[in-house]
Amino acid sequence: MFKLQHQQAWTCPGCNHVHNAPTSVEFSLSVGIEAPRQGLPLADYIDQYYGPDVAGMTCSRCQWTGTARQVITISEAPEILFIQLRRFQVVVKKKGVSIKKLSNSVPFGLWLDISRHNADTTARGPGALRYKLAASISHSGDMTQGHYITYSTTGQGVYCLDDLNVGKVSVQEFLKPGGKFQPYILAYVRTY
């Protein structure tokens, strides 16, 4: 239900040999939202996750070494997709290490289509891996203290679940870019 299985591969620029890595299994996407590219829509951060440049690659065939583009694809998609936005960043300074919270806006929608990252190239068309937002968890506060609030989407709208308080929120306000809703975790349910 939550299993997200990936295939990883990279092509050597020296001899065009394709290197396949063992498949990896995760139970959420942990998506970085830090600099230098802040403020992108959620889909763009997901695209960055699936196509990173990786330094220190060495070709087993021609011994080429350098930075290559690694392609990650989804070989098994979950029924429920959890996306964690990495809002906490480690900052190294001369006097030590600190952790800061990133509060930049990440526009997201009620629908998410990640079909273009499907390992099955015959099923990369729109809608093959389509998800509907079920819930969002936001964090207010900093690294030393804070509070989590859940927003649940239903056929009747969006509801804010804040401890014992439950209230309806307009969909427009909930999805407003740069608004007060800064998700930390998003839960999407696959549609068919």
Question: What predicted TM-score, i.e. pTM, was given to this entire model?
Answer: 0.87
Tell me the DSSP string of the chain: ---EEEEEEEE-TTT-PEEEEEEEEESSEEEE--TTS-S--HHHHHHHHHS-EEEEEE-TTT--EEEEEEEEEEEE--SEEEEEEE-EEEEEETTEEEEEE--------SEEE-GGGBS-GGG-STTTTEEEEEEEEEEEE-SSSEEEEEEEEETTEEEEEETTEEEEE-HHHHH-TTSS--EEEEEEEEE-
What pLDDT score does 35 carry? Answer: 62
What pLDDT score does 65 carry? Answer: 94
Highest mean pLDDT of the ranges 18-27, 73-82, 134-143: 73-82
- CATH code assigned at 128: 3.90.70.10
Region 142-168: mean pLDDT is 91
Find the range with the poorest average confidence among 7-11, 30-34, 52-56, 80-84. 52-56
Which percentage of the chain shows pLDDT scores above 70?
Answer: 98
Region 91-104: mean pLDDT is 86
Rounded to the nearest integer, the mean pLDDT of the chain is 90
The domain tally of the chain equals 1
Residue 111 lies in domain: 4-191
* pLDDT surpassing 90 at residue 177: no
Region 164-174: mean pLDDT is 93
pLDDT band of residue 61 (cuts 50, 70, 90) is: very high
Region 182-191: mean pLDDT is 94
pLDDT band of residue 55 (cuts 50, 70, 90) is: confident
